Amino acid sequence: MSQKNITSRHFSRTEILLLSSVLLVVSSLCLIIFHILDIRIGLNKWLQQHLALNQVILTF
């Protein structure tokens, strides 16, 4: 009984570690992609395009 509890606890800990590492990798990848897009396009141009689209939608 005690050995099963220890193995199940260890398995859950490894699962939590795997989940946290995956989340860290995904968040870092999102940040890298956002920085690349920011460098290529520029947030100002992107915002201007969205404002222009909103104005066009509002006029119709």
**Does residue 22 or residue 60 have the better pLDDT?**
22
Alpha helices in the chain (DSSP H): 2-40, 43-59
Mean per-residue pLDDT, 51-56: 75
Query: If pLDDT is split at 50, 70 and 90, which confidence band does 52 have?
Result: confident
- CA 54 to mean position of chain CA atoms: 26
Average pLDDT, the chain: 77
Q: What distance in Å separates the CA atoms of residue 24 and residue 21, rounded to the nearest whole number?
A: 5
Q: What distance in Å separates the CA atoms of residue 51 and residue 27, rounded to the nearest whole number?
A: 28
* pLDDT tens per residue across span 34-49: 887 777 667 677 678 7
Identify the domain containing residue 13 by its residue range: 2-59
Predicted local confidence at residue 14, as pLDDT: 86
pTM value? Answer: 0.45
The count of structural domains within the chain is 1
